[in-house]
Amino acid sequence: MAPLMKQARMRRTITGFSNPTVKYLRSLREKKHRKREGKFLAEGLRLLTDAREGGRLPEMLVMSAARDPHPLLEALENAVEDAGGEIVETPPEILSKITGKDNPQAVAGVFCEFDTSIDKIDRSRAPIWLVAQALRDPGNLGTMLRTGDAVGAGGLILIDDCADPFSVEAVRASMGAIFTQQIAQASWEEFLPWLRSGAGQLVAASLRDARPYRQAPYVAPCFILVGNESRGLPEEYEMACDLRVTMPMRGRADSLNAAIAGAVLAYEVLATLEA
Amino acid sequence: MAPLMKQARMRRTITGFSNPTVKYLRSLREKKHRKREGKFLAEGLRLLTDAREGGRLPEMLVMSAARDPHPLLEALENAVEDAGGEIVETPPEILSKITGKDNPQAVAGVFCEFDTSIDKIDRSRAPIWLVAQALRDPGNLGTMLRTGDAVGAGGLILIDDCADPFSVEAVRASMGAIFTQQIAQASWEEFLPWLRSGAGQLVAASLRDARPYRQAPYVAPCFILVGNESRGLPEEYEMACDLRVTMPMRGRADSLNAAIAGAVLAYEVLATLEA
- DSSP string across A32-78: HHHHHHTEEEEE-HHHHHHHHHTT---SEEEEETTPPP-HHHHHHHH
Cis preceding-peptide flag for A221 (omega within 30 of 0): yes
Would you place residue B10 in the very low, low, confident or very high pLDDT band (cuts 50, 70, 90)?
low
Say what the pLDDT of residue A2 is: 46
Check if A228 contacts B (Cβ < 8 Å): no
- Given a cut of 50, whether residue A61 has pLDDT beyond it is yes
Confidence band, pLDDT 50/70/90 cuts, at residue B253 = confident
pLDDT of residue A100: 83
Query: CB contact, 8 Å: A43 with chain B?
Result: no
- Residue A230 burial (10 A CB sphere; 0-12, 13-18, 19+): exposed
Chain A residue with CA closest to B154: the answer is A251
The pLDDT of residue A1: 40
Q: What one-character DSSP code corresponds to residue A17?
A: T
Task: Measure CB to CB from residue B253 to each of A177, A250, A263 and give the nearest one.
Answer: A177
- CATH no. for B2-112: 3.30.1330.30
**Residue B215 pLDDT:** 85
Q: A20: Cβ–Cβ under 8 A, 6 or more apart, which residues?
A: none
CB B133 within 8 A of CB B160: yes
* Pick from B252, B259, B274: CB nearest A50: B252
Average pLDDT in chain A: 93
Q: Is the pLDDT of residue A271 over 60?
A: yes
* Shortest distance, CA A62 to any CA of chain B (angstroms): 23
In this complex, do B253 and A151 lie within 8 Å of one another by their Cβ atoms?
A: no
CB contact (8 A) between residue B248 and residue A263: no
Domain assignments of chain A as residue spans, ordered by start = 2-112, 118-274
Residue A216 at interface with chain B, using a CB cutoff of 8 Å = no
Distance CA A20, CA A18 (A): 6
Q: Write the residue in B149, B248, B264 that is nearest to A263 by C-beta.
A: B264
Q: What number is the ipTM of this complex?
A: 0.91
C-beta atoms of A250 and B146 within 8 A: no
Pick from A103-107, A191-195, A255-259, B45-49: least confident: A103-107
pLDDT range class, residue A180, cuts 50, 70, 90:
very high
**Among A146, A152, A251, beta carbon nearest to B150:** A251
What's the pLDDT at B143? 97
Mean pLDDT of chain B: 93
Category of B100 on φ-ψ map: left (φ > 0), alpha (ψ -120 to 50) or beta: left
pLDDT at A9 over 60: no
User: Testing the interface with B: which of A45, A52, A147, A252 to mutate, by most B Cβ within 10 A?
Assistant: A252
pLDDT confidence of residue B6: 47
Taking the C-alpha atoms of residue A201 and residue A183, their distance in angstroms, rounded to an integer, is 19
The CATH fold of domain A118-274: Alpha/beta knot (3.40.1280)
Q: Is A19 on the interface with B (CB under 8 A)?
A: no
- For A251, the closest of B173, B180, B256 (CB atoms) is B180
Of A148, A249, A253, the CB nearest to B175: A253
Mean pLDDT of A58-71: 93
* pLDDT higher than threshold 70 for residue B9: no
Between CA B154 and CA B164 the distance in angstroms is: 19
Minimum Cα–Cα distance from B175: chain A residue? A253
Amino acid at B250: R
Q: Which of B49, B172, B264, B269 to mutate to test the interface with A (most CBs of A within 10 A)?
A: B264
Which one is predicted more confidently, A229 or A270?
A: A270
pLDDT above 50 (res B8): no
Q: Please check whether residue B141 touches A, CB under 8 A.
A: no
B146: closest chain A residue by CA: A256
Name chain B contacts of A44, Cβ cutoff 8 Å: none
C-beta atoms of B251 and A180 within 8 A: yes
Q: How confident is the model at residue B29 (pLDDT cuts 50, 70, 90)?
A: very high
Contacts of A270 in chain B (CB under 8 A): 248, 250
Residue among A45, A247, A260 with most chain B CBs within 10 A, to mutate: A260
- Cβ contact (<8 Å) for A148 and B264? no
Nearest chain A Cα to B143, which residue?
A257
Query: Region A246-259: what's the mean pLDDT?
Result: 92
Looking at the predicted structure, is the pLDDT value of residue A8 above 70? no
Examine the pLDDT at B259 and tell me if it is beyond 90: yes
Nearest-angstrom CA–CA distance, A152 and A270: 8
Spatial distance between the Cα atoms of B209 and B166, rounded to a whole number of angstroms: 36
- CA of A263 to nearest chain B CA: how many angstroms apart? 7
Residue B224 has pLDDT above 70, yes or no: yes
**Nearest-CA neighbor of A57 among A81, A37, A36?**
A81
Q: Are strands A222-226 and A128-133 parallel, antiparallel or unpaired?
A: parallel
Select the residue of B149, B173, B248 nearest A253 (Cβ to Cβ): B149
Cβ of A50 and B257 within 8 Å? no
Which of residues 72 through 131 in chain B touch A, CB cutoff 8 A? none
B112-140: pLDDT as tens digits = 999 999 999 999 999 999 999 999 999 99
| Strand arrangement, sheet containing A182-186 | A182-186, A155-159, A128-133, A222-226, A201-205, A243-246, A211-212
Distance between CA atoms of residues A161 and A199, nearest Å: 25
Whether B149 has a pLDDT exceeding 90, the answer reads yes
Q: CB pairs below 8 Å between A and B: how many?
A: 107
